[in-house]
């Protein structure tokens, strides 16, 4: 029994279950369309989330198979199940095959459109692992496009649109986080642990980090000002109309801009002071100031869209 439990934990690590948090981005269309409490729509988004988790784990396995020689040299990644030998190459390859077929068949149950989007997602990650990650800038843009595909996947399964400025925010934010990760890898472990790092320079990564951080803030600020936020009628709606006329017409969501600016600044601070950017999922879930900022941002968004 203990042996079986240990094997499950090993495969969970190989599948990087802890990084499934990235797939929550599929709920973007649901949340910002005012449909968070529509059980049917949320259920569809949840199923697409599960499919993207399978697709993501497939790409992680393939990446670890290909990166085996580099991971063996990495002081942290050498303990990953494949690099350490806990999961054999044969087992990992078989898992990639099974998960790919399973994910694509499940995506076909939604629609043909979602199937082709899922196919595009997995092909992007396959080409990334085999080829694209070898080229600087191209590698971080590939990561960003994978986040965009997740967000668009939420659109496809729910039928609700993500405003272009919000989509651009996701695009720039994912570029920022990918660049921060490359910077942390370069500073902490040098250029031997990733092929593309041989053509990255620290000052160039600093420039990209600043550029993408600025792009994220500008795109989000523009979204809060330009886009009309859908309002859900609640018990408080008549009261707000009576005592604060025109409340819903005001661009209250702009009050969240400082939180976004602080969140990006805090993320960058952790990079430059602690060199923590190599594991973004750890930062997002463990750093108390950043977690507090994210939760406060979520609370204000839900309050403005679903309560007041």
Cβ–Cβ < 8 Å for 306, 34: yes
What CA–CA distance (Å, rounded) separates 177 from 185?
Answer: 12
The burial class, CB within 10 Å (0-12 / 13-18 / 19+), for 71 is buried
Range from 1-15, 69-83, 120-134, 226-240 that averages highest in pLDDT: 120-134
What CA–CA distance (Å, rounded) separates 213 from 261?
Answer: 9
Range from 2-11, 126-135, 209-218, 277-286 that averages highest in pLDDT: 209-218
The pLDDT assigned to 57 comes to: 92
- pLDDT tens-place string over residues 65-89: 888 777 777 777 777 888 887 888 8
Across all residues in the chain, what is the average pLDDT? 83
Burial call 123-159: b when 16+ CB within 10 Å, e when fewer = ebbbebbeebbeebeebbebbbbbbbbbbbbbbbbbe
Which of 157, 171, 149, 173 is CA-nearest to residue 297?
A: 173
Q: What is the pTM of this model?
A: 0.84
User: Does position 127 have pLDDT exceeding 50, yes or no?
Assistant: yes
Angle, in degrees to the nearest 10, between helices 138-158 and 39-66: 150
Map residue 281 onto helix, strand or coil.
helix
The pLDDT assigned to 249 comes to: 45
- pLDDT tens-place string over residues 181-192: 887 777 765 555
- pLDDT tens-place string over residues 158-183: 989 899 999 999 999 999 988 888 87
The pLDDT assigned to 137 comes to: 87
Which of 183, 223, 217, 218 is CA-nearest to residue 203?
A: 183
Query: Counting every residue, how long is the chain?
Result: 308
What CA–CA distance (Å, rounded) separates 19 from 224?
Answer: 28
Mean pLDDT computed over 186-204:
66
* % of the chain beyond a pLDDT of 70: 83
What CA–CA distance (Å, rounded) separates 123 from 26?
Answer: 19
- pLDDT tens-place string over residues 12-23: 888 888 889 889
In eight-state DSSP terms, residue 67 is: T
Q: Which of 3-7, 49-53, 162-166 has the lowest mean pLDDT?
A: 3-7
Give the long-range contacts of residues 7-15, CB within 8 A, separation 24 or more.
Answer: 10/81, 10/86, 10/87, 11/81, 11/87, 11/95, 13/80, 13/81, 14/60, 14/61, 14/64, 14/80, 14/81, 14/82, 14/86, 14/87, 14/92, 14/95, 15/57, 15/60, 15/61
CA dihedral 58, 162, 179, 78 (to 10 degrees): -20
User: Does position 240 have pLDDT exceeding 60, yes or no?
Assistant: no
């Amino acid at each position: 029994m203990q042996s079986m439990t240990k094997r499950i934990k090993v495969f969970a690590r190989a599948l990087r279950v802890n990084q499934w948090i990235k797939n929550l981005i599929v709920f973007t269309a649901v949340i910002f369309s005012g449909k968070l409490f529509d059980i049917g729509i949320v259920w569809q988004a949840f199923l697409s989330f599960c499919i993207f988790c399978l697709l993501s784990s497939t790409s992680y396995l393939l990446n670890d198979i290909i990166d085996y020689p580099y991971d063996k040299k990495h002081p942290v990644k050498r303990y990953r199940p494949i690099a350490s030998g806990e999961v054999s190459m044969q087992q990992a390859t078989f898992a990639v095959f099974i998960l790919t077929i399973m994910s694509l068949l499940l995506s076909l149950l939604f629609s043909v459109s979602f199937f082709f989007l899922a196919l595009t997602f997995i092909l992007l990650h396959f080409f990334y692992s085999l080829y694209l990650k070898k080229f600087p800038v191209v590698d971080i843009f590939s990561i960003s496009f994978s986040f965009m595909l997740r967000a668009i996947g939420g659109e496809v399964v729910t039928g609700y649109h993500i405003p272009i400025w919000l989509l651009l925010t996701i695009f720039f934010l994912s570029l920022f986080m990918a660049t921060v990760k490359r910077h942390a890898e370069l500073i902490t472990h040098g250029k031997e642990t990733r092929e593309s790092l041989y053509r990255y320079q620290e000052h160039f990564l600093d420039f990209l980090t600043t550029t993408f951080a600025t792009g994220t803030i500008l795109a989000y600020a523009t979204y809060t000002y330009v886009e009309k936020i859908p309002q859900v009628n609640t018990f408080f709606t008549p009261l707000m109309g009576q005592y604060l006329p025109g409340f819903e017409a005001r661009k209250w969501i702009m009050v969240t801009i400082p939180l976004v600016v602080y969140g990006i600044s805090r993320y960058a601070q952790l990079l430059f002071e602690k060199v923590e950017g190599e594991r973004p999922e750890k930062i997002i879930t463990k750093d108390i100031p950043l977690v507090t900022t994210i939760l406060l941002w979520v609370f204000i968004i839900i309050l403005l869209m679903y309560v007041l």
